[in-house]
């Protein structure tokens, strides 16, 4: 398979702003062009837009507003992992030879319709994500004898880490007591256990090996891709205390990249809610089942930024269509040694975990320097 | 027979593949294993609690019906336990959402 790399990135600050989706898309695309002086509009063969926004024809609109006339232009939607799905599509266009350079731009507004999967009637009247998160949390706590206080370390850690991310929604740190005393949404979930919907955009330029080197001195290669969709409906999950789709996607990605979890220096995992971080770490193979919280406690106590250095979804905010792209940008910057205060020393191999709808679908990417 | 038109009347029907002899869920006209047509029958209206939580003073739970179908619904009264059996007391469609109300057995 020909090598496909990341040639440039652009991002906006994540906010609660009432901006038009087209404007959010354009801002991160402009930032990408600002970051790549050698890039011309004619270099771009395809423009892929990742969003859950209901506006139509956004890739053609973004192309026109950016002065690009691509061969291929279309949108990609897969709820919360739209972003990495768009990156995988871009990879495929390049690997197949249909395109040489692909702009992937993700954007969402704070009021995204992608937050609730209306189709999933097996959730009855409990369609908001806080209900699947409550069931996951209760099942995880029950199976592994984990407490609310232990799970609260996840938002404490991720808000802390997000303070070094200039684009993060979160602007403050929280104590364990703050998390525990935040508004109780259900018996098993508090407001500060949740990532927050927001307005934000993230863009990435993927290109073939030679083209990549035209735009950056430090290309980052996508060496592993794993994806799995086990169902659409939350209640079809076989386990409510682990992520089956993540486990399968990780295994595929590691096999493709010929590396294993011990080689990973830095990872962005999909902490949509507190419980998702330990569950993801376990399903990705970073630690044994039920031991995710121990790993997180240790990382937090030693200020080790290995997991979610930009603050994850909880600290950064969760603009659905932009999230997977923002996660990939973070790992790219880490491997390029340009993550400033968030930098993990000598990071060579990184992982992105992005999932949708109560882990019914997962994408895992392995990135290497 | 339309699943939703019956649910609106408070009837919980189950689609079963004539060929595979398996329950098809979510309800569909065609089997998700062989695409043959399904037949419809009434549910036993009983299930068991897989997991539960509570919002304000109301318990909500994930219930497995006939060892296959999982749905989320309300518990009308009492304190639920995992593995406990429940009866679907009421079901229907309200504000475009399905709803299931269970009582503990």
From CA A132, how far away is CA B50, in angstroms rounded?
13
* Of B21, B73, B78, B10, nearest in space to B43 by CA: B10
Distance from CA of A119 to the nearest CA of B (A): 10
A360 and A279 in contact (C-beta within 8 Å)?
A: no
Count of C-beta atoms within a 10 Å radius of residue A4 = 25
Percent of chain B past pLDDT 70, that is, above it, reads 99
Residue A147 touches partner B, C-beta closer than 8 Å: no
Q: A70 is written with which tokens? A: 């691509």
Counting residues of chain B whose pLDDT is more than 90, the rounded percentage is 93
Which residue of A118, A123, A124, A131 is the best one to mutate when testing the B interface, meaning the one whose CB has the most B CBs within 10 A? A124
Q: Which chain A residues are Cβ-neighbours of B81 within 8 angstroms? A: none
Lookup: tokens for A73: 């232009």
Of A124, A188, A236, the CB nearest to B53: A188
Q: Which residue of A has its CA nearest to B94?
A: A125
Q: How far apart (Å, rounded) are the C-alpha atoms in residues A243 and A355? A: 10
Interface residue of A235, A238, A242 to substitute, partner B, most B CBs within 10 Å = A235
Taking CB atoms and an 8 Å cut-off, how many pairs form between chains A and B?
A: 66
Taking the C-alpha atoms of residue A298 and residue A308, their distance in angstroms, rounded to an integer, is: 14
Nearest to B98 among A121, A134, A139 (CB): A121
DSSP reduced 3-state for B49: strand
Q: Which of B26, B72, B96 sits opposite A126 (nearest CB)?
A: B72
- Regarding predicted confidence, which is higher, A7 or B77? A7
Give the nearest partner residue to A134 out of B53, B70, B73, using CB atoms.
B53
C-alpha dihedral over A136, A139, A143, A146, to 10 degrees? 70
Contact A122 B74 (CB under 8 A): no
**Inter-chain residue contact B71 with A235, CB threshold 8 Å:** yes
- Per-residue CA distances from A257 to A207, A253, A360 (Å): 18, 6, 23
Q: Alpha carbon B97 to chain centroid distance?
A: 13
Q: Which residues on adjacent β-strands are paired with residue B23?
A: B16
Q: Which of A121, A185, A235 sits opposite B62 (nearest CB)?
A: A235
Q: Please, are residues A310 and A343 in contact by the beta-carbon 8 Å criterion?
A: no
Q: Are the beta carbons of A188 and B99 separated by less than 8 Å?
A: no
DSSP annotation of B36 reads P
Write the CA distances from A316 to A48, A159, B72, B78, integer angstroms. 23, 8, 31, 40
Element (H, E) at B6: helix B3-8
> What ipTM was predicted for this assembly?
0.96
What is the gyration radius of the CA atoms in chain A, in angstroms?
19
Distance from CA of B13 to the nearest CA of A (A): 13
Residue B37 Cα, gap to closest chain A Cα (Å): 21
Task: Give the pLDDT confidence of B17-66 residue by residue, as tens digits.
Answer: 999 999 999 999 999 999 999 999 999 999 999 999 999 999 999 999 99
* Ranges of residues in chain A whose predicted pLDDT is under 70: none
Please state, in angstroms and rounded to a whole number, the distance separating the CA atoms of residues A187 and A169: 26
Q: Which of A29, A274, A252, A23 is nearest to A146 (CA)?
A: A274
Q: How many CB atoms lie within 10 A of CB A253?
A: 25
The whole-angstrom separation of Cα B10 and Cα B28 is 18
Who among A124, A131, A240 is closest to B98 (CB)?
Answer: A124
Q: Which residues in chain A touch residue B47, judged by CB atoms under 8 angstroms apart?
A: none
Please indicate if any CB of chain B lies within 8 Å of the CB of A134.
yes
Q: Do A186 and B55 touch (CB under 8 A)?
A: yes
Amino acid B1: pLDDT: 58
- Chain A residues with CB under 8 Å of B99 CB are 124-125
Of A124, A186, A187, the CB nearest to B99: A124
Give the CA angle between residues B53, A80, A322 to the nearest 5°. Answer: 140
First and final C-alpha spacing in chain A: 17
Give the integer Cα–Cα distance in Å for A326 and A86.
12
pLDDT, position A111: 97
Structural domains present in chain A: 4-111+198-221 (3.40.47.10), 128-194+223-368 (3.40.47.10)
Contact B72 A121 (CB under 8 A): no
Query: Integer distance in angstroms from the first to the last C-alpha of chain B?
Result: 30
212-251 of A, contacting B, C-beta below 8 A: 233, 235-236, 240
pLDDT band at residue B2, thresholds of 50, 70 and 90?
confident
Distance to chain B for A62, nearest Cα, Å:
35
Which pair of structure tokens corresponds to residue A6? Answer: 């990341």
Q: Are A141 and A188 in contact (CB under 8 A)?
A: yes
- Give the 3-state DSSP-derived string for chain A, with helices as H, strands as E and coil as C: CCCEEEEEEEECCCECCCCCHHHHHHHHHHHHHHCCCCCCHHHCCEEEEECCCCCCCHHHHHHHHHCCCCCEEEEECECECHHHHHHHHHHHHHHHCCCCEEEEEEEECCCCHHHCCCCCHHHCCCCCHHHHHHHHHHHHHHHHCCCHHHHCHHHHHHHHHHCCCCCCCCCCCCCHHHHHCCCEEECCEEHHHECCECEEEEEEEEEEHHHHHHHCCCCEEEEEEEEEECCCCHHHCCCCCCCHHHHHHHHHHHHHHCCCHHHCCEEECCCCECCHHHHHHHHHCCCCCCCHHHHHHHHHHCCCCCECCCCHHHHHCECHHHHHHHHHHHHHHHHCCCCHHHCCCCCCEEEEEEEECCCCEEEEEEEEC
Q: Which residues contact A1 (CB under 8 A, 6 or more apart)?
A: A95
Average pLDDT value over all residues in chain A? 97
């Amino acid at each position: 398979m020909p090598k496909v790399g990341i040639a440039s990135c652009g991002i906006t600050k994540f906010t609660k702003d009432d901006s038009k989706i087209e404007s959010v898309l354009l801002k991160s695309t402009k930032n990408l062009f600002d970051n790549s002086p050698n890039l011309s509009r004619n270099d771009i063969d395809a423009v892929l837009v990742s969003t859950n926004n209901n506006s139509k024809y956004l890739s053609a609109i973004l192309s026109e507003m950016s002065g690009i006339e691509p061969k291929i232009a279309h949108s990609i939607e897969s709820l919360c992992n739209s972003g990495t799905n768009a990156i995988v599509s871009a990879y495929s266009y390049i690997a197949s030879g249909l395109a040489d350079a692909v702009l992937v731009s993700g954007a969402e507004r704070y009021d995204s319709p992608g937050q609730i999967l209306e189709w999933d009637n097996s959730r009855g009247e409990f369609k908001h994500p806080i209900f699947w998160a409550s069931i996951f949390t209760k099942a995880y706590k029950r199976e592994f004898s984990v407490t609310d206080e232990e799970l609260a370390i996840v938002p404490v850690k991720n808000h802390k880490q997000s303070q070094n991310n200039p684009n993060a929604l979160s602007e403050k740190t929280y104590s364990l007591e703050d998390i525990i005393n935040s508004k109780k949404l259900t018996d098993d979930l508090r407001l500060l256990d949740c990532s927050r919907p927001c307005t934000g955009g993230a863009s990435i330029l993927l290109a073939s090996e030679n083209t990549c080197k035209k735009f950056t001195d430090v290309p980052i290669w996508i060496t592993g891709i794993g994806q799995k969709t086990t169902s659409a409906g939350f209640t079809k999950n076989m386990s409510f205390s682990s992520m089956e789709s993540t486990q399968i996607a990780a295994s595929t990605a590691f096999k493709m990249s010929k590396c294993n979890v011990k080689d990973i220096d830095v990872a962005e995992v999909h902490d949509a809610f507190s419980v998702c971080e330990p569950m993801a770490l376990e399903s990705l193979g970073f630690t044994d089942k039920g031991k995710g919280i121990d790993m997180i406690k240790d990382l937090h106590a030693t200020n080790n930024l290995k997991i979610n250095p930009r603050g994850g979804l909880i600290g950064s905010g969760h603009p659905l269509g932009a999230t997977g792209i923002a996660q990939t940008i973070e790992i790219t910057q880490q491997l390029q040694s340009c993550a400033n205060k968030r930098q993990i020393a000598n990071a060579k191999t990184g992982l992105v975990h992005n999932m949708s709808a109560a882990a019914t679908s997962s994408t895992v990417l392995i990135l290497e320097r | 027979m339309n699943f939703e038109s019956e649910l609106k009347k408070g009837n919980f029907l189950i689609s079963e593949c004539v060929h595979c002899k398996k329950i098809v869920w979510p309800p569909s006209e065609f089997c998700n294993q062989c695409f043959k047509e399904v037949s419809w029958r009434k549910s036993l209206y009983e299930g068991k609690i897989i997991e539960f939580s509570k919002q304000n003073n109301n318990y909500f739970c994930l219930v497995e019906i006939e060892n296959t179908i999982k749905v989320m619904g309300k518990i009308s009264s009492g304190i639920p336990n995992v593995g406990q059996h429940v009866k679907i007391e009421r079901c229907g469609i309200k504000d475009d959402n399905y709803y299931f109300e269970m009582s503990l057995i």
